[in-house]
Amino acid sequence: MIQAFAFYLFTAIMLFSAVSVIFARNPVHSVLWLILAFFNAAGLMVLIGAEFIAMLLVIVYVGAVAVLFLFVVMMLDIDFSEMRAGFIKNAPLGLLIAAVLLAELGLGLGVWHSGALQLGVASGAAATPEGLSNTAAIGALLYTRYLFLFEAAGIILLVAMIGAIVLTHRQRSDTRGQNVGRQIARRPEEATINVKPAVGQGVTL
Amino acid sequence: MIPFFQWTGLSFEASWIVATVAEILLIALPVMLAVALVIYADRKIWAAMALRKGPNVVGPIGILQSFADGLKVFLQETIIPSAANKGLFLIAPIITFTVALMAWAVIPFNSGAVLADINVGLLYVLAISSLGVYGVVIAGWSSNSKYPFFSAMRASAQMISYEVSIGFILICVVLWAGSFNLNEIVKAQKDHVWIINGFVANPLLFPVWVMFLISGMAETARAPFDLTEAESELVAGYQTEYSSMAFALYWLGEYANVLLMCALNATLFWGGWLPPLDIPVLYLVPGLVWLLLKILFFFFIFSWVKATVPRYRYDQLMRLGWKIFLPLSLFFVFAISGYLMATGHFA
C-alpha cells in the first residue's frame, strides 16, 4: 500500500516537473524543475530496490551536473524574445529528435519484453542475486563480465577530460602567479636585514 | 518502535507511519535544541579566545541567549525585495534547513539506534550534503542582487570542489570497513589498532582524517573557508537580502550542518558510539553519551579554528581543494586499496 502510494506520488511529480522543464518561461526555473525530476527518478530507483543507482543519480546528476548547469544558466543574459523567434525554425528538427527518441524507447521496451537481453526478467523483478546488496552485485558484474567495456569507458572519459583541459587552458604572460612553495621556503633572515642606526642618522635604502 | 504501536492496536501500516514520525521528531527536536545551545557555545568559545565575556545577560551565564535571539527574529517582519523572485526566495531557506536535518536519518546513535538503517548510508550522506548547495545558489539568484549572486557563484564552485576530495576520502573508509552502512563502519572500528576503537589510530587513515576535517570545514562553509559570507567583500553573502525567520532558517541549517560534520567525523574515524578504548568498564557508559562527547569535541575544534585562523583567499581555497587535497586523497585511495590487497583483506 505504502509502496504503491510512493510510486504514484514520485511518478506524478516526475512527469509534472518534466513537462514544466519544457514549459517554464525562465531557463533557471527549467533547470530547477529538471533537478526535481532527477530527484523523483532517484525515488523510483529506491522503490525497485536499486538504492545504489538512486544515490549515484542524486550525487552525480543533482549534486554535480545540475549545479554546473545552473551555474552556467544563471550567468547567461538571456533575451526571451530572441529565444521565441527561433522556435518555428527549429521545431521540425526538435520533433524529429523526439520521434527518434520515442522509437528507440519503444524498441528497447520490445526487446526487453521478448527476453532477448539478459537484463532482468520481463515481470520487472530485480535481477539482484539473493543475499547480495546491489552495490556488491553491480561491482561483481562491472569488474568481471564487463571489465573491458568499463575500463574502456573510463579511458574515454579520461581522454575527454584531458582534452577539455588542454583546449581551454591558456598560458597568460601578463599575470604573476603565486608560488606558494617559494613563499613558505622564504625565511626572515633572507628577506630582512637588521640595521641599528645611531640616533638622528637614519638609514640609506 | 513499530511493535509498540502495533501493541496499542494499530494496523502495521498505521503503526509504521506513526513510529516513523515519532522517530523523526525524536531526532529532529534534540538536534534543533542542540543547535541553539551550540550557537551559544560557539559564541562563548570565540569570546573566551578573544578575552571577552561573550553572551552573559539572558538567563544564567547567558545560556538562554539563542532562544532570546530566536524569539526576536520570530517577531520581526519578513522583508521580500520587490525585484526578488518571490517563490524561490522563500523556498531557498527551507531547502537549506530541510537538507541539514535530512542527513541525520542515517547517523547511528547506538548499536542499531538509527532511523534509516540503509545499505548505502554513506552514499546517502554524500547525496544529501551535495543538495545543500542549492539553498545557497537559489538564494543568491532569486535575491536579484549583486552580492548574494557573487556568493552563490562562490558557494557552488567551492562545494563541488571539496565534494570531490570528500568522495575519495569516504572511499578510503569504505574500503577498510567493507560496507557503506554507517553502523557497520562503526562496528568495523572496534579494536582497530590494539585496543583503540577508531580508524584514526591507523597510520594510513590518520592523514585521511585530517583532510576530512579540513574539507568538512570547507564543505560547511565554516571559517576559515566562509568565503560565501565574507563580510569584508560581500556584505553578508547570500543572506544579505534575508530577514526574520528566513534568515534564522539559514542560521539553524548552517549549524545543523556543522554538527552533522562533527557527527560524521566521530562516526567515520573516531569510532562513533563505541568508547575510545576497548575496555569493558567503558561500555557501561551508553553509546549515545560517547557519540555526543565526540561531537562536542569536534565542535570545539571547529570553534577553535574559527576563532584563530584568518579567512582564506578564494584562489588559495581552490588551490587547496584541487591541487593538494584531490591528488593526495587519490593517492591514499591507491595506497589503502593496495595495502588491503597485499594483506589479503578482501579475500
Question: A52, B123: Cβ pair inside 8 Å?
Answer: yes
Q: How far is A94 from chain B (nearest CA, A)?
A: 30
pLDDT at A124: 46
Residue B67, burial from CB neighbour count under 10 angstroms (0-12, 13-18, 19+): middle
Establish if A63 touches chain B: CB-CB under 8 angstroms: yes
| C-alpha torsion B263→B269→B272→B278, nearest 10 | -160
Question: B88, A64: Cβ pair inside 8 Å?
Answer: no
Does the pLDDT of residue A122 top 70, yes or no? no
The pTM of the full predicted model, rounded to 2 decimals, is 0.83
Residues 80-109 of A with CB under 8 A from B: none
Band (A152; pLDDT cuts 50, 70, 90): very high
Q: Which of B88, B127, B157 sits opposite A59 (nearest CB)?
A: B127
Cell of A171: 598560458
Q: Which of A32, A51, A62 sits opposite B130 (nearest CB)?
A: A62
Band (A118; pLDDT cuts 50, 70, 90): low
Does the pLDDT of residue A155 top 90, yes or no? yes
pLDDT at B272: 81
Rounded average pLDDT over A142-163: 91
Q: Which of B13, B118, B138 sits opposite A51 (nearest CB)?
A: B118
User: CA angle, corner B149, sides to B144 and B154, nearest 5?
Assistant: 165
Task: Give chain A's mean pLDDT.
Answer: 82
pLDDT digits (tens, 9 = 90+) for B106-155: 888 888 778 888 888 888 888 888 888 888 888 888 888 888 888 888 88
Residues of B in contact with A62 (CB under 8 A): 127, 130-131
- Report the candidate in B135, B126, B127 with the shortest Cα–Cα distance to residue B155: B135
pLDDT at B299: 92
Establish if A56 touches chain B: CB-CB under 8 angstroms: yes
Rounded average pLDDT over A61-80: 79
Question: B160, A180: Cβ pair inside 8 Å?
Answer: no
Residue with cell 583541459: A165
Which residue would you say has higher pLDDT here, A75 or B292?
B292
Q: Which of B124, B134, B160 sits opposite A64 (nearest CB)?
A: B160
Question: B157, A58: Cβ pair inside 8 Å?
Answer: no
Q: Please give the ipTM for the structure prediction.
A: 0.80
Would you list the DSSP string of B2-14?
A: HHHHHHTT--HHH
Q: At what angle do helices B12-49 and B244-269 cross, to 10 degrees?
A: 90
How remote is the C-alpha of B192 from its chain's centroid? 25
Which residue stretches of chain B have pLDDT < 70?
1, 346-347
Residue pairs between chains A and B whose CB atoms are closer than 8 Å: 69
Cα–Cα dist B199/B188, whole Å: 9
Nearest residue on chain A to B120, alpha-carbon basis: A52
Most trustworthy range by pLDDT among A38-42, A109-113, B272-276? A38-42
pLDDT at A130: 62
Rounded average pLDDT over A132-155: 85
Q: How far is B161 from chain A (nearest CA, A)?
A: 10
Task: Report the percent of chain B where pLDDT is more than 70.
Answer: 99
- Report the candidate in B120, B136, B113 with the shortest Cα–Cα distance to residue B250: B136
User: Are B216 and B103 a contacting pair, CB within 8 Å?
Assistant: no
Question: B137, A67: Cβ pair inside 8 Å?
Answer: yes
- Using a CB–CB cut-off of 8 Å, the residues of B that contact A are 13, 16, 88, 118-120, 123-124, 126-127, 130-131, 133-134, 137-138, 141, 149, 152-153, 156-157, 159-160, 163, 167, 180, 315-316, 319
Q: B251 forms bridges with which residues in the sheet?
A: none
Residues of A in contact with B149 (CB under 8 A): 74
pLDDT at A123: 47
Q: How far is A199 from chain B (nearest CA, A)?
A: 38
Phi and psi at B277, nearest 5°, equal -115, 145
Cα–Cα dist A78/B142, whole Å: 16
Q: How far is A32 from chain B (nearest CA, A)?
A: 9
| Residue B112 DSSP label | T
